[in-house]
A and B are shown apart, each in its own frame.
Chain A
């Protein structure tokens, strides 16, 4: 990379602040879209990979689709203030539908596309949605199955007709047909669209975001245009996005993070949003686009990291040697920068060499060659993963926020990234810590309340502050440190408070561990329930000539237990004695959102999991560890169930000072 060498974390482009003061008359998404269509016209607004080719939509076409669909909704009977529910994968039609609903004075309600029947029906019913925009047969089936219980729904609009040739439900209508009606209405009333957009106000509710909630029913957070647009503008001041940037939209559009980027920020700043071909092609599509901006929850970064580790295990000896030579250089430089110590010239040179030999190729493979602004949010990311990305020169930042504050309240500055904090508040945001240690925040982006849930709204907004439910503290120089959910913070036997999430993140850094649930609150010692990563452990098993059939079978193998045993021991070495894992089990299935064990944003619903696996937990705390008989039912997205019967082994870790457990020699030699 001649000439273009840039500092690890500092980027000239990111340093300057694009002055974004959204003109007072551009206070809604549709108004911004109309303005962008006039200003940017033929420039590419959206791109979708279809038939193997990136098909482009200009700002002008984007606007025309939204206008036609919006008028179509009005023709079908949408009134101002009505709700439109949208469900489907990330496609241009998703954003057309949202902006069209808003253009007609309505509110958009996103539904996670992998939700099951009951969840979909709950959100549609609770939000009083009169129209549902569903992508394809799969989603339409979910809604038609429940349509009797959803009397207020006037129409179900689908964009992909595939497989629905014989569907004759009176409420069904295609996306194209709605646009057609819109065009007809537009011809008879040419000023209707302009008037309808002009009638929108910044304080109108733009979206209702159903928060996945790690407890109880989802709650619908109402966010106004003002909330979302001030958030985008403030965020842009500390983390600049440029009109020429590329962004790949691959996380659920029902998630606030994706609303933040693909809608609020893109409309305000005019960067291009790319939609992948299929969920299964995301990694390849990201590589083709080479985005400048990326925002993803920890799970994605963790996956990328373990993917790299697995591929390295699989590669040739020479490449593995190169990896083992270069990574320590990267780590060393990253650590110096984290400590904000100067990087000696020799180390800089070594890093440059490592970059040329490995990091550049690695970043290219991951589609991160052009990355300038990349952040993780939604849950804490383990420090090891953080270090990995910084080592290879990807300036990953932590974002902190809730749906209720339009997604973000804190972020790292470009030159001040520390992995144990979540950075400082963005402009316009105030932070405080309550007497109980809860993180409170206040900003123009704080939501107006939960839809049809005044009690919860009052509780969350008590005293004019947004109560996050997270425990945390501020460092002396104003960085926020998040400990864990208030109710999860544990008192150890010694009296110190400790976060299970921290231990879980350490465990999850092991490529073999997909998910970890650490238990220990009000208990004598810590234990863990681990889910193995089927792909990686499966590969490991193959290499060690270990036959297996299903996930359940693989996770019950003695050799796999031995493998994970060693991984847990490694983690234990880094933890204070009182916070070490003393017993663990390998669960017979992965935690799954369809079984309500994870939220749709894939966070563990701790209370639910602890109740569901209470027998397992009882065995973890039994006087002597004994195998637990399991007879469980698992549920699939379409409502089908399957039964699992097995026996679960409880593994006890010996205290560090006694002799190490017997390892099978073949397995011991396996690791790198």
Chain B
């Protein structure tokens, strides 16, 4: 990308943020995975959630998407309280996600996986769909068009008819993103979209995330470990550590935040101490 392409802060949106988490607390028995976490994601933003291992990032995403229900606190999508809603109801309201470990139908083609992503939007039942004439067919064609636009968008035409399980890992990740986009979500939750990718694949994926955000107007919330990507791509960053929010700001602010530095470096210190202790024992 040769031309400077700075993230341009959009004009302040009217009233409620696209996604808001208020005082969420999530416990598993004695373990507090999330401890009174609050943050808000403005419409059209790219929001990153970072933190050391076990900080509660994926728990946060699971709470938002409805896999877990926090014991306290509320989750609001465009001002509407969805805390008590089921995952598929949230999907219908415009929430889509990808998973850290790819969750696709490995025995089906890319195209079929994406068409399944359209399922929530399908209105024709088994009869009208089965007859495949009139409204059933019109709807099928319309959905295929949406899917084809996403295939074009993510440049996966050459693998359109291939079985997902036979594809390389990086491509499967891309198909997963495509499947999430097929839902035409307002908010897209990405759980480590770039994990295990090489530099080139990461660059591609970062471009797709930015394009999805800019061209399709999707609000993105993503967990990512690659700090280079996080600092480049996101507009705001939330930092979690042991279930608590310890930072929330622009990438520049986060980089300078002493608590964040401590959360990351503190770990490093501990590791060094352990190594030294091990050395002494020998």
Whether A52 contacts B148 by the Cβ 8 Å rule is: yes
A5 contacts the other chain (CB 8 A):
no
Q: In whole angstroms, what is the CA distance A167 to B5 when docked?
A: 7
B268: chain A residues at CB < 8 Å are none
The chain B residue sitting closest to A50, CB to CB, is B152
Stretch at the interface among B28-36, B131-139, B173-181, B207-215: B207-215
Whether B6 contacts A166 by the Cβ 8 Å rule is: yes
A167: chain B residues at CB < 8 Å are 3
A163 contacts the other chain (CB 8 A):
yes
| From A141, A166, A277, contact of B2 by CB (8 A) | A141
Whether A144 contacts B151 by the Cβ 8 Å rule is: no
- Contacting A at CB under 8 A, from B140-161, are 144-145, 148-149, 151-152, 155, 157-158, 160
Interface residues of A, CB < 8 Å — how many? 20
A162 contacts the other chain (CB 8 A):
yes
Whether A51 contacts B3 by the Cβ 8 Å rule is: no
Whether B211 contacts A163 by the Cβ 8 Å rule is: yes
B207: chain A residues at CB < 8 Å are 163
Whether A278 contacts B157 by the Cβ 8 Å rule is: yes
The chain A residue sitting closest to B155, CB to CB, is A278
Whether B2 contacts A51 by the Cβ 8 Å rule is: no
B126 contacts the other chain (CB 8 A):
no
A641 contacts the other chain (CB 8 A):
no
B277 contacts the other chain (CB 8 A):
no
Q: In whole angstroms, what is the CA distance A430 to B163 when docked?
A: 55
Q: In whole angstroms, what is the CA distance A167 to B1 when docked?
A: 10
A341: chain B residues at CB < 8 Å are none
Question: Once A and B bind, how many residue pairs between them come within 8 Å at the CB atom?
Answer: 44
The chain A residue sitting closest to B215, CB to CB, is A165
B152: chain A residues at CB < 8 Å are 50-51
Size bracket of the B interface? 20 to 34
B101 contacts the other chain (CB 8 A):
no
A169 contacts the other chain (CB 8 A):
yes
Whether B145 contacts A51 by the Cβ 8 Å rule is: yes
B276 contacts the other chain (CB 8 A):
no
Whether B3 contacts A52 by the Cβ 8 Å rule is: no
Q: In whole angstroms, what is the CA distance A594 to B5 when docked?
A: 27
A137: chain B residues at CB < 8 Å are 1
B158: chain A residues at CB < 8 Å are 278, 280-281, 284
- Contacting A at CB under 8 A, from B1-44, are 1-3, 5-6, 8
Q: In whole angstroms, what is the CA distance A137 to B2 when docked?
A: 9
The chain B residue sitting closest to A143, CB to CB, is B2
Q: In whole angstroms, what is the CA distance A416 to B211 when docked?
A: 56
Q: In whole angstroms, what is the CA distance A142 to B215 when docked?
A: 22
Q: In whole angstroms, what is the CA distance A316 to B269 when docked?
A: 58
Whether A52 contacts B160 by the Cβ 8 Å rule is: yes
Whether B3 contacts A141 by the Cβ 8 Å rule is: yes
Interface string of A137-163 (1 = CB under 8 A from B): 100011011000000000000000011
Given A278-B155, A280-B158; A51-B148 close (CB under 8 Å): yes
Rounded to whole Å, the gap between the CB of B230 and the closest CB of chain A is: 20
| From B8, B148, B160, B215, contact of A162 by CB (8 A) | B215
Q: In whole angstroms, what is the CA distance A69 to B152 when docked?
A: 25
B8: chain A residues at CB < 8 Å are 166
A165: chain B residues at CB < 8 Å are 214-215
Rounded to whole Å, the gap between the CB of A641 and the closest CB of chain B is: 14
Q: In whole angstroms, what is the CA distance A141 to B2 when docked?
A: 5
Q: In whole angstroms, what is the CA distance A51 to B151 when docked?
A: 8
Given A141-B3, A144-B2; A277-B215 close (CB under 8 Å): no
Q: In whole angstroms, what is the CA distance A137 to B8 when docked?
A: 19
- Chain B CB count within 10 A is highest, among A51, A167, A277, A284, for A51
Q: In whole angstroms, what is the CA distance A277 to B157 when docked?
A: 8
Rounded to whole Å, the gap between the CB of B270 and the closest CB of chain A is: 34
- Contacting A at CB under 8 A, from B144-200, are 144-145, 148-149, 151-152, 155, 157-158, 160
The chain B residue sitting closest to A172, CB to CB, is B3
Whether B3 contacts A169 by the Cβ 8 Å rule is: yes
A142: chain B residues at CB < 8 Å are 2
- Contacting B at CB under 8 A, from A477-521, are none
Rounded to whole Å, the gap between the CB of A551 and the closest CB of chain B is: 15
A284: chain B residues at CB < 8 Å are 158
Rounded to whole Å, the gap between the CB of A29 and the closest CB of chain B is: 31
Interface string of A120-139 (1 = CB under 8 A from B): 00000000000000000100
Q: In whole angstroms, what is the CA distance A260 to B149 when docked?
A: 33
The chain B residue sitting closest to A279, CB to CB, is B158
Q: In whole angstroms, what is the CA distance A77 to B144 when docked?
A: 42
Q: In whole angstroms, what is the CA distance A52 to B149 when docked?
A: 9
A169: chain B residues at CB < 8 Å are 3
Rounded to whole Å, the gap between the CB of B142 and the closest CB of chain A is: 12
Rounded to whole Å, the gap between the CB of A367 and the closest CB of chain B is: 16
Q: In whole angstroms, what is the CA distance A337 to B17 when docked?
A: 77
Interface string of A274-303 (1 = CB under 8 A from B): 000110110010000000000000000000
Rounded to whole Å, the gap between the CB of B218 and the closest CB of chain A is: 14
Rounded to whole Å, the gap between the CB of A119 and the closest CB of chain B is: 16
The chain A residue sitting closest to B153, CB to CB, is A162
Whether A52 contacts B151 by the Cβ 8 Å rule is: yes
The chain B residue sitting closest to A167, CB to CB, is B3
The chain B residue sitting closest to A638, CB to CB, is B2
Whether A145 contacts B157 by the Cβ 8 Å rule is: no
Given A51-B145, A162-B211, A162-B215; A145-B2 close (CB under 8 Å): yes
Q: In whole angstroms, what is the CA distance A145 to B1 when docked?
A: 10
Q: In whole angstroms, what is the CA distance A162 to B144 when docked?
A: 21
Q: In whole angstroms, what is the CA distance A144 to B1 when docked?
A: 11
The chain B residue sitting closest to A142, CB to CB, is B2
Given A52-B151, A163-B207; A144-B157 close (CB under 8 Å): no
Q: In whole angstroms, what is the CA distance A141 to B214 when docked?
A: 19
Whether A141 contacts B1 by the Cβ 8 Å rule is: yes
The chain B residue sitting closest to A278, CB to CB, is B157
Q: In whole angstroms, what is the CA distance A162 to B157 when docked?
A: 16
Given A52-B160, A166-B8, A280-B157; A144-B215 close (CB under 8 Å): no
Q: In whole angstroms, what is the CA distance A284 to B148 when docked?
A: 17
Rounded to whole Å, the gap between the CB of B144 and the closest CB of chain A is: 8
- Contacting B at CB under 8 A, from A323-372, are none
A280: chain B residues at CB < 8 Å are 157-158
Rounded to whole Å, the gap between the CB of B261 and the closest CB of chain A is: 32
Rounded to whole Å, the gap between the CB of A164 and the closest CB of chain B is: 8
Rounded to whole Å, the gap between the CB of B159 and the closest CB of chain A is: 9
Q: In whole angstroms, what is the CA distance A165 to B4 when docked?
A: 12
The chain A residue sitting closest to B161, CB to CB, is A284
Rounded to whole Å, the gap between the CB of A53 and the closest CB of chain B is: 8
A163: chain B residues at CB < 8 Å are 1, 207, 211, 215
Rounded to whole Å, the gap between the CB of B153 and the closest CB of chain A is: 8
The chain A residue sitting closest to B5, CB to CB, is A166
The chain B residue sitting closest to A146, CB to CB, is B2
A278: chain B residues at CB < 8 Å are 155, 157-158
A162: chain B residues at CB < 8 Å are 211, 215
A166: chain B residues at CB < 8 Å are 3, 5-6, 8, 214
B145: chain A residues at CB < 8 Å are 51
* 20 A-B interface contacts by CB (under 8 A): A51-B149, A51-B151, A52-B144, A52-B160, A53-B148, A141-B2, A144-B2, A145-B2, A162-B211, A163-B207, A165-B214, A166-B3, A166-B6, A166-B214, A277-B157, A278-B158, A280-B157, A280-B158, A281-B157, A284-B158
Q: Which 9 A-B pairs have the closest CB atoms?
A: A141-B2, A51-B148, A280-B158, A52-B148, A145-B2, A278-B157, A166-B5, A281-B158, A277-B157
Using a CB–CB cutoff of 8 Å, the interface residues on chain B facing chain A are 1-3, 5-6, 8, 144-145, 148-149, 151-152, 155, 157-158, 160, 207, 211, 214-215
Can you add 20 more A-B contacts, CB < 8 Å, to A51-B149, A145-B2, A169-B3? A51-B148, A51-B152, A52-B144, A52-B148, A52-B151, A52-B157, A52-B160, A53-B148, A141-B1, A162-B211, A162-B215, A163-B207, A163-B211, A167-B3, A277-B157, A278-B157, A278-B158, A280-B158, A281-B158, A284-B158
Using a CB–CB cutoff of 8 Å, the interface residues on chain A facing chain B are 50-53, 137, 141-142, 144-145, 162-163, 165-167, 169, 277-278, 280-281, 284
